[in-house]
Amino acid sequence: MGSSIYTNYEEIAAVLLFVIGFLNLLIQPNLVKKIIGLDVMDAAIYLFLAAKGYIAGRTAPIVTDGILSADHYINPIPAGLVLTGIVVSVSVSAVMMALTICLYREYRTLDLDEILVMLQEQETAQLQRIQRDEREGRSA
Partner 1 sequence: MTALRILLLIFLIICAVAVSFSKRLLVSIIIYMAFSLIMSILWMILESPDLAITEAAVGAGVTSILFFVMLKKIQSIQMDPDQEDES
Partner 2 sequence: MSRPNPSYEGSRRQKFMQWLKGEYDPSEGKLETTEPDTSLFTDSEYHEIHLYLRNEYADNEEHFRRGVRKHLTRIQKLYRLMAVITAIFMTVLLLWAVSYEPSYGDPNAPENNEVATRYIEHGLAETGAINIVAGMILDYRAFDTFGESCVLFVALCCVLILLRVDADEEAGSHAREAMFDRHFEPKNDIILQRMCRVLVPAIVIFGIYVVLNGHLSPGGGFSGGAIIGTGLILYLTAFGFANTERFMTEKVARLFSVAALTFYCFAKSYSFYTGANHLPSVISTGTPGAILSAGLIVYLNICVGIVVACTMYSFYVLFRKGGY
Least distance (Å) between residue 44 CB and partner 2 = 10
Q: Does 37 bind partner 1 (CB under 8 A)?
A: yes
Distance of alpha carbon 76 from alpha carbon 79, whole angstroms = 5
Residue 71 contact, options partner 2, partner 1, none, Cβ 5-8 Å cut-off depending on partner type: partner 2
Q: Is 53 exposed, middle or buried (0-12, 13-18, 19+ CB in 10 A)?
A: middle
Least distance (Å) between residue 135 CB and partner 2 = 9
Size of the site for partner 2 (CB under 8 A): 67
Distance of alpha carbon 103 from alpha carbon 101, whole angstroms = 5
Distance of alpha carbon 85 from alpha carbon 73, whole angstroms = 22
Judged by CB under 8 A, the stretch of 64-72, 85-93, 123-131, 132-140 that binds partner 1 is 85-93
